[in-house]
């Protein structure tokens, strides 16, 4: 998949590197602000159970 993206992006190597960094940053932003908040109610991270 990464090879395909690398071949599809036009331009010299430095343009490809910058574009790949921007795509990775965009993926991180989408995960951080869209995906993770929508999954938070379904993941029991705040529920603490202490057995005695």
| 9 in a structural domain | yes
pLDDT (0 to 100) of residue 52: 62
Distance CA 49, CA 52 (A): 10
Q: Rounded to two decimals, what is the model's pTM?
A: 0.69
| 52 in a structural domain | no
Do 5 and 20 contact (CB within 8 A), yes or no?
yes
From first to last of its 52 residues, the chain has per-residue pLDDT tens of 788 888 999 999 999 999 999 999 999 999 999 999 898 888 877 777 776 6
Number of domains in the chain: 1
In tens, the pLDDT along 33-43 reads 999 989 888 88
| 51 in a structural domain | no
| 34 in a structural domain | yes
Q: Looking at 1-52, list the stretches that DSSP marks H as alpha helix, in order from N- to C-terminal side.
A: 2-8, 13-30, 36-39
| 19 in a structural domain | yes
């Amino acid at each position: 998949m990464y090879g395909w993206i690398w071949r599809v992006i036009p331009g010299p190597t430095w343009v490809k590197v910058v574009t790949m960094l921007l795509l990775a940053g965009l993926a991180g932003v989408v995960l951080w602000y869209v995906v993770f908040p929508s999954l938070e109610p379904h993941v029991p991270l705040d529920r603490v159970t202490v057995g005695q």
